[in-house]
Amino acid sequence: MNKKTYTLTQLVDSVKSVINRTYSENAYWVTAELVKLNIKGGHYYLELADSVEGFNTAQMKAVVWRTQVLALQTNLGEEFKQLLQPGNRLLFRVSVTFHEIYGLSLTIHDLDPAFTYGEIELKKKQTIERLKQEGLYDLQRQLKLPLIVKRVVLIGSPDTSGYRDFLTEMTTNNIFRNFTIQQIATTVQGDKAVSEICAALKEADTYDADAIVLIRGGGSKMDLNVFNDYQICSLIAGLRLPLITGIGHETDEVVADLVANSRQITPTAVAKFLYVRVGTFRADLQTGLDRILTQALSQMARATEQFTNTNKFLSHYFQNIITEYRTDLQTKLHLIQLYTADTLAEERALLELALNRGGTASVNHLRVLREIELPGTLDRILVNAQNLIDISRLEMTGMRDKIELLNPLKLLKVGYTMCSIDHIDLAHYSGAYIGKELQTLTDQFTIYSTITKIQK
């Protein structure tokens, strides 16, 4: 079988001629993600890719020749290096070339940073949106920054001027220098920046400090893009300690600024913010103290004056009262003396009078006794005695007459007799009569007779 055969060279030459005929005359603006970068002999070898919804849809090698690198570096400056970071989406001006040995590739003639900035902004917005959705965006601002921030954890790159500025400002200012600064060194750009900053943040949050300071001494938009990183920003949002940024740019904020507790423009500004805060607090304290002192002194002065016035008034008032009382007392004393003298005189007079009266009365009484009562009494005694004697005498006469009268012997003399039985008067006798002896007394003799018969 007679087959038509070609050498590889013939085929590749044919492909090359087709490609060159179709593409080599034109250049195209192409967007792609930089996946990998190798620099060799001043030439930049890139691996570009494109994806839709996470799936690779195209991949191709590209090169920036050394001369072009130099031209781009001149045009873009530092940006060039930052733009050519793996992960960035870039807008390249490319032409398609085919090499017999190296195959199909793109030659990069130019790149437009504006596209990447737009991409950055877009990504930034997406990051902010995500942080908000996850409830992380406002967390830091809810933390209370202490009135005095004295213990600080500093995250930054020690080799940068911003870092040095911060330390200098903190230790040489005229307001407050007694800070405790725990430093954590980290790179702030390049491949490792994100992971190192994340590690630094995690470490910083474990210290017993008042706040974390994250600084970077300025840089291009691309330089600062690391601070838009979702991982870093979500970590900042979740910190226990409040974080202050001093990332060093004036126009555009990075997401780290937005989620931080406080955002200052430069590292120097952060230092100033911290010592001014202490100074303000101290000044407030001083002002308060001054006001208290002033108030206290004026109150003291008022009280002293009041006291002096009152004292004067009281002295005067009491002097008056004392004088009044003394006068009153003297008057009363005088009156008492007068009254006492009067009373004494009166009493004396009364006594004398009483004495006189008593004497006179006694004398009179004695005279009455002597002159009237005694003689009268004697007379009365005399009269009574005489009466008594007279009565007694009469009584005695009566007695004698009675005895005279009662004397039975007299009756016997005139012829009466007295009879008795057993010496009992007949009038009193109550015994038997017959046979008894009856004694009959006469004036001359006694007759004894025996009773033989009685007749009633």
Min separation Cβ 367 and another protein, Å: 17
| CB 61, CB 38: distance < 8 Å | no
Please, which residue, 361 or 447, has the CB nearer to another protein?
A: 447
Residue number, 158 or 398, with CB nearest to another protein? 398
Identity of the residue, 190 or 408, whose beta carbon is nearer to another protein in the bound complex: 408
Q: How far is the CB of 454 from another protein (least distance, A)?
A: 21
Residue of 389, 413, 416, 442 interacting with another protein (CB under 8 A)? 389
Tell me how far, at minimum, the Cβ of 421 lies from another protein, in Å: 12
Instruction: Please report whether residue 125 would count as binding another protein according to CB under 8 A.
Output: no
Q: Tokens 């990051």 belong to which residue?
A: 127
- Cβ proximity to another protein, 8 vs 406, nearer residue: 406
Interface with another protein in residues 344-383 (CB under 8 A) = 375, 378, 381-382
Task: Select the residue interacting with another protein from 3, 144, 428, 456 (CB under 8 A).
Answer: 428
Q: Binding to another protein by residue 385, rule CB under 8 A?
A: yes
The residue to which tokens 């003291």 are assigned: 300
CB of 374: closest distance to another protein in angstroms? Answer: 8
Compose the 311-340 pattern: x for residues touching another protein by CB under 8 A, - for all others.
------------------------------
Distance (Å, whole) CA 96 – CA 431:
214
> In whole angstroms, how close is the CB of 356 to another protein at the nearest point?
32
CA distances from 434 to 420, 439, 441, 446 (A): 14, 14, 20, 20
Query: Binding to another protein (CB under 8 A): which residues in 408-427?
Result: 408-409, 418, 420, 423, 425, 427
Minimal distance in Å, beta carbon 444 to another protein? 14
The CA-based dihedral angle spanning residues 70, 71, 74, 79, taken in that order and rounded to the nearest 10 degrees:
-80
Nearer to another protein, 303 or 396 (CB): 396
DSSP 177-245: ---EEEEEE---SSTTHHHHHHHHHHHHTTSS-SEEEEE-----HHHHGGGG-HHHHHHHHT-SS-EEE
User: Helix or strand or coil: residue 411?
Assistant: helix
| Least gap, CB of 350 to another protein (angstroms) | 41
- Dump the DSSP string for 248-317: --SSPPPHHHHHSSEEESSHHHHHHHHHHHHHHHHHHHHHHHHHHHHHHHHHHHHHHHHHHHHHHHHHHH
When the beta carbons of 55 and 448 are compared against another protein, the nearer one is 448
> Residue 427 Cβ, how far from another protein at the closest point, in Å?
7
Q: Which is nearer to another protein, 202 or 393 (CB)?
A: 393
Q: Quick one: 321 or 399, whose CB is closer to another protein?
A: 399
How far is it, in rounded angstroms, from Cα 114 to Cα 93?
A: 13
How many residues bind another protein (CB under 8 A)? The answer is 26
C-alpha closest to that of 274 among 226, 216, 209: 209
Interaction of residue 403 with another protein, rule CB under 8 A: yes
Phi/psi of residue 53, nearest 5 degrees: 50, 45
Tell me: does residue 392 bind another protein (CB under 8 A): yes
Smallest distance from another protein to CB 397, Å = 9
Is-contact 419 440, C-beta < 8 A?
yes
* 138-143, long-range: CB < 8 A, 24+ apart: 139/237, 139/238, 139/259, 140/236, 140/237, 140/239, 140/242, 140/243, 140/259, 140/260, 140/261, 141/261, 143/239, 143/241, 143/242, 143/261
List interacting residues with another protein (CB under 8 A).
375, 378, 381-382, 385-386, 389, 392-393, 395-396, 399-400, 402-403, 406-409, 418, 420, 423, 425, 427-428, 441
